[in-house]
Amino acid sequence: MSTTRSNRAKAAITTVSLTGAAMGFLTACGAGGGEDDNEAREVYCVDEQDNVVDEDQCEEAERNGGVGLGGLPFFFLLGSFGGNRYSVGQRIPQQYTTAGTRVNPSDTAARSRSGLPSSGKVTSGTRVSGGIGSGSAGGSSGS
Protein backbone atom coordinates (compact mmCIF):
# COMPACT_ATOMS: atom_id res chain seq x y z
CA MET A 1 0.00 0.00 0.00
CA SER A 2 2.90 2.37 0.61
CA THR A 3 3.99 1.85 -3.01
CA THR A 4 0.54 2.95 -4.26
CA ARG A 5 0.59 5.98 -1.97
CA SER A 6 4.11 6.85 -3.16
CA ASN A 7 3.07 6.60 -6.84
CA ARG A 8 0.07 8.86 -6.20
CA ALA A 9 2.31 11.44 -4.51
CA LYS A 10 4.74 11.38 -7.45
CA ALA A 11 1.84 11.78 -9.90
CA ALA A 12 0.47 14.73 -7.93
CA ILE A 13 3.89 16.42 -7.83
CA THR A 14 4.37 15.86 -11.58
CA THR A 15 0.94 17.30 -12.36
CA VAL A 16 1.59 20.37 -10.19
CA SER A 17 5.02 20.86 -11.78
CA LEU A 18 3.66 20.61 -15.32
CA THR A 19 0.80 22.96 -14.51
CA GLY A 20 3.23 25.46 -13.01
CA ALA A 21 5.50 25.21 -16.03
CA ALA A 22 2.58 25.74 -18.40
CA MET A 23 1.42 28.80 -16.45
CA GLY A 24 4.94 30.24 -16.54
CA PHE A 25 5.15 29.65 -20.30
CA LEU A 26 1.78 31.31 -20.93
CA THR A 27 2.69 34.26 -18.74
CA ALA A 28 5.97 34.72 -20.58
CA CYS A 29 4.20 34.55 -23.94
CA GLY A 30 1.61 37.09 -22.87
CA ALA A 31 4.18 39.50 -21.51
CA GLY A 32 6.13 39.75 -24.74
CA GLY A 33 3.29 39.18 -27.15
CA GLY A 34 5.60 37.20 -29.41
CA GLU A 35 8.08 40.03 -29.91
CA ASP A 36 11.58 40.15 -28.54
CA ASP A 37 11.44 42.24 -25.36
CA ASN A 38 14.69 43.92 -26.44
CA GLU A 39 13.18 45.01 -29.74
CA ALA A 40 12.33 48.71 -29.74
CA ARG A 41 8.74 49.84 -30.00
CA GLU A 42 8.26 53.21 -31.54
CA VAL A 43 5.31 55.46 -32.30
CA TYR A 44 4.41 57.39 -35.44
CA CYS A 45 1.49 59.67 -36.20
CA VAL A 46 -0.12 58.29 -39.38
CA ASP A 47 -3.14 58.83 -41.58
CA GLU A 48 -5.52 56.06 -42.74
CA GLN A 49 -3.12 55.06 -45.55
CA ASP A 50 -0.24 54.64 -43.04
CA ASN A 51 1.60 57.71 -44.30
CA VAL A 52 3.61 59.43 -41.58
CA VAL A 53 2.16 62.88 -40.93
CA ASP A 54 3.28 65.76 -38.76
CA GLU A 55 2.70 65.18 -35.03
CA ASP A 56 0.48 68.25 -35.03
CA GLN A 57 -2.13 66.18 -36.91
CA CYS A 58 -2.41 63.71 -34.02
CA GLU A 59 -2.43 66.57 -31.54
CA GLU A 60 -5.33 68.15 -33.47
CA ALA A 61 -7.07 64.75 -33.63
CA GLU A 62 -6.68 64.43 -29.85
CA ARG A 63 -8.74 67.61 -29.41
CA ASN A 64 -11.36 66.54 -32.00
CA GLY A 65 -12.27 62.94 -31.20
CA GLY A 66 -9.66 61.30 -33.42
CA VAL A 67 -10.05 63.44 -36.53
CA GLY A 68 -7.88 66.28 -37.74
CA LEU A 69 -8.59 69.26 -39.90
CA GLY A 70 -10.80 68.32 -42.84
CA GLY A 71 -12.38 65.47 -40.89
CA LEU A 72 -9.64 62.93 -41.70
CA PRO A 73 -8.76 60.35 -39.03
CA PHE A 74 -5.25 60.16 -37.64
CA PHE A 75 -3.72 57.51 -35.40
CA PHE A 76 -0.69 56.73 -33.35
CA LEU A 77 0.90 53.60 -34.81
CA LEU A 78 3.01 51.69 -32.30
CA GLY A 79 5.27 48.80 -33.14
CA SER A 80 8.64 47.55 -34.25
CA PHE A 81 9.69 49.00 -37.54
CA GLY A 82 12.75 46.85 -38.17
CA GLY A 83 15.13 49.57 -37.08
CA ASN A 84 13.85 51.83 -39.86
CA ARG A 85 13.11 55.51 -39.26
CA TYR A 86 10.31 57.19 -41.19
CA SER A 87 9.84 60.85 -42.02
CA VAL A 88 6.75 62.89 -42.74
CA GLY A 89 5.35 61.84 -46.11
CA GLN A 90 6.81 58.33 -46.07
CA ARG A 91 4.48 55.35 -46.08
CA ILE A 92 5.16 52.69 -43.46
CA PRO A 93 5.28 49.24 -45.15
CA GLN A 94 2.39 46.86 -44.52
CA GLN A 95 4.68 44.30 -42.88
CA TYR A 96 5.04 46.74 -39.98
CA THR A 97 1.54 48.23 -39.94
CA THR A 98 -0.25 44.87 -39.72
CA ALA A 99 1.85 43.94 -36.68
CA GLY A 100 1.42 47.37 -35.10
CA THR A 101 -1.16 48.79 -32.75
CA ARG A 102 -3.30 51.78 -33.72
CA VAL A 103 -4.35 54.16 -30.99
CA ASN A 104 -6.91 56.93 -31.34
CA PRO A 105 -5.14 60.11 -30.15
CA SER A 106 -8.26 61.22 -28.24
CA ASP A 107 -8.61 57.95 -26.28
CA THR A 108 -6.69 58.76 -23.09
CA ALA A 109 -7.15 55.27 -21.61
CA ALA A 110 -5.86 53.52 -24.77
CA ARG A 111 -2.92 55.91 -24.89
CA SER A 112 -1.98 55.09 -21.30
CA ARG A 113 -2.40 51.33 -21.81
CA SER A 114 -0.08 51.55 -24.82
CA GLY A 115 2.67 53.31 -22.88
CA LEU A 116 1.96 56.77 -24.32
CA PRO A 117 1.24 59.86 -22.24
CA SER A 118 -2.53 60.16 -21.73
CA SER A 119 -2.55 63.56 -23.43
CA GLY A 120 -0.33 65.97 -25.30
CA LYS A 121 1.98 65.87 -28.25
CA VAL A 122 3.90 62.68 -29.03
CA THR A 123 6.88 63.00 -31.35
CA SER A 124 7.02 60.47 -34.20
CA GLY A 125 9.88 58.04 -33.85
CA THR A 126 9.76 58.20 -30.05
CA ARG A 127 10.65 54.94 -28.32
CA VAL A 128 7.78 53.63 -26.19
CA SER A 129 8.15 51.25 -23.28
CA GLY A 130 5.60 49.29 -21.32
CA GLY A 131 1.90 49.18 -21.92
CA ILE A 132 -0.27 46.41 -23.28
CA GLY A 133 0.28 47.62 -26.80
CA SER A 134 3.65 45.91 -27.04
CA GLY A 135 3.45 43.07 -29.45
CA SER A 136 -0.22 43.45 -30.23
CA ALA A 137 -0.91 42.01 -33.65
CA GLY A 138 -2.86 44.44 -35.76
CA GLY A 139 -5.30 45.57 -33.10
CA SER A 140 -7.07 48.88 -32.95
CA SER A 141 -7.21 50.55 -29.61
CA GLY A 142 -9.86 53.18 -29.18
CA SER A 143 -10.34 53.98 -32.82
69 and 102: one domain? Answer: yes
25 and 4: one domain? Answer: yes
15 and 71: one domain? Answer: no
26 and 58: one domain? Answer: no
The C-alpha atoms of residue 43 and residue 103 are separated, in whole angstroms, by 10
Tell me which residue range forms the domain holding 19: 1-32
The model's confidence at residue 6, banded by pLDDT at 50, 70 and 90, is low
List helix spans (H) across 33-141. 55-63, 94-97, 108-113
> What is the per-residue pLDDT across 13-69, written as a single tens digit (0 to 9) for each?
444 443 333 333 333 333 333 344 445 689 999 999 999 999 999 999 999 999 988
104 and 46: one domain? Answer: yes
pTM: 0.65
122 and 56: one domain? Answer: yes
> What is the per-residue pLDDT across 99-125, written as a single tens digit (0 to 9) for each?
999 999 999 999 999 999 999 999 999
**Total structural domains within the chain:** 2
pLDDT exceeds 80 at position 91: yes
Strands 41-47 and 126-128: antiparallel
